[in-house]
Homo-oligomer: A and B are copies of this chain.
């Protein structure tokens, strides 16, 4: 499973985002691997109509529908997405709010990926019973070395310890992932997939990168 986070890159906004999403869809169909896209929030209604692969949101605010100008409720995205990132390193949340959103996602049939920064936080969040924990060591995010090369023991320990606490939680890893080799290594370390962003979105040839990523 490959989760492509569009972040707030210029390269992934509007029609450029549609184009990347369609490339993701094409490669997913050809490779028979699961690829998930996380478009920018204002593009959710646009991109969700254009592709058949799963669309996730990048964030959901921990609030109910109502007088909440400028907030992103689960209710406002659920017609466009089948899952969401939660607590991304660029949008950290309070623990009580992560708990609230994970429960709300489960109740609404929305898949939850809780992003974490280290093994202890990963274990803590796995108690909250999300569908996925995505561990991304902050010092490696946006860098050139894959977490699977730089810190394989972090991924391995995260998987081992998360499973001890909550065997039903699946583990993803991220930070510096760029090649099929990185994905292969992630899976060998016990992860069920990867989370990446610039490696695809800012690539000169995203299709080529994605084809490589799916050959693991």
Contact = CB atoms under 8 A, between A and B. Distances in A.
A90 B118 contact: no
Assembly stoichiometry (copies): 4
Nearest to A59: B70
A73 B66 CA distance: 23
A140 interface: no
A158 interface: no
B65 A9 contact: yes
Interface stretch (A25-33, A41-49, A147-155, A181-189): A41-49
A124 interface: yes
A76 interface: yes
Contacts of A127: 120, 123-124, 127, 165
Interface in A71-91: 71-73, 75-77, 79-80, 85, 87-91
Interface string A119-133: 011011101110000
Contacts of A123: 127
A42 B124 contact: no
Given A66-B7, A70-B58, A75 B125 contact: no
Contact of A67 (B43, B90, B93): B90
Contacts of A125: 95, 124
Of the listed residues A69, A88, A97, the one surrounded by the most CB atoms of chain B closer than 10 A to its CB is A69
A197 interface: yes
A41 B61 CA distance: 12
A43 B41 contact: no
Given A117-B96, A127-B124, A8 B67 contact: yes
Nearest to A11: B65
7 contacts: A42-B42, A42-B76, A69-B91, A92-B97, A95-B98, A95-B124, A120-B127
Interface of A: 5, 7-10, 13-14, 38, 40-46, 57-59, 63, 65-73, 75-77, 79-80, 85, 87-99, 103, 116-118, 120-121, 123-125, 127-129, 141-142, 165, 197-198
